[in-house]
Amino acid sequence: TLPEISSQRFSSWFKIQVSENHQKNVVLFNDTFTEFNQPEVGKAAVKVLNALKYNVIIPKWSCCGRPLLSKGKLEAARQKAVKLIKILMPYAVKGYAIIGLEPSCILTVIDDYTGLVGKSDPEILAMISTIRPLCTTFDEFIASHVDATGQLPLKFIENPQQVLVHGHCHQKSLVGMDKTMKMLKSLPGYTASEIPSGCCGMAGSFGYEKEHYDISMKIAALKLVPAIEAAPTTTEIIANGFSCRCQIDHTTGRKAVHLAEALANRLQ
């Protein structure tokens, strides 16, 4: 089943929210999946960031080019990259953190843009050099607020909750899951463990393609599906990748949530 399109874009919802009045600003990069498919992830992230005393800025939506890059359409992906860089640059010159909810999107900016643009455009390369150090996954940004006692400066519901975490391939490869897991284990009431899985098998659009469906299912069946099916139905499943959440829903019938949703749901 193809992912559903939300009746309201994330940016449309955000425009009608009452502005916060904090001292610090951050940029929340509204990737395509948050913008069009699951705006509830963006809403949850705004709630958590506001609770941490940040004003949240949502830039004009523009695809990062990851889907095109994955299909080898490099010139089209390069054009998307240049467009997004120009959108993000005004925030970068102010030193605002640029927080990504979808690991593959924000890590494309961090890891692929320099090579994608190449040496042919020194001006854009200079912009990328300014933007890259400010880009971060949601996990890393939130984890950076853990204090000396190992706690986040937030008030959470302390009800006991078992949690299984499926790490996104890009995230595991480039930044790892250590900070995510350490933060989750510090939350009151949480008992969190990482599923020792590789790829979920969806891999963007790979699992939706007829010729790849069977192998996609076999990959999911290696570790991910058995771990989730063995867990009690009360166990919360966290998966930051949109395609990972879709795969989990398709293969197990269980709803996985983004870390932002998990945190927002436990805020007092």
Q: What does the pLDDT look like over 41-51, one tens digit per residue?
A: 999 999 999 99
Domain count, the chain: 2
**Domain membership flag for residue 5:** no
CATH number at residue 227: 3.40.50
Q: Rounded distance, CA 29 to CA 40, Å? A: 14
Pick the last residue of a domain from 119, 141, 163: 141
CA–CA distances in Å: residue 90 to residues 46, 64, 94, 97, 136: 21, 17, 7, 12, 17
Whether residue 205 sits in one domain with residue 100: no
Taking the mean position of all CA atoms in its chain, how far away is CA 62? 16
Pick the last residue of a domain from 141, 168, 203: 141
Query: Buried (b) or exposed (e) across 144-153, using 16+ Cβ within 10 A?
Result: eeeeeeeebe
Whether residue 171 sits in one domain with residue 75: no
Domain that holds residue 253: 153-266
* Closest by Cα among 103, 127, 102 to 114: 127
* pLDDT for 170: 87
Mean pLDDT calculated for residue range 151-169: 94
CATH number at residue 71: 1.20.1050
Task: With a cut of 90, say whether residue 198 has pLDDT above it.
Answer: no
* pLDDT for 233: 96
SS3 237: strand
* pLDDT for 232: 96
**Domain membership flag for residue 194:** yes
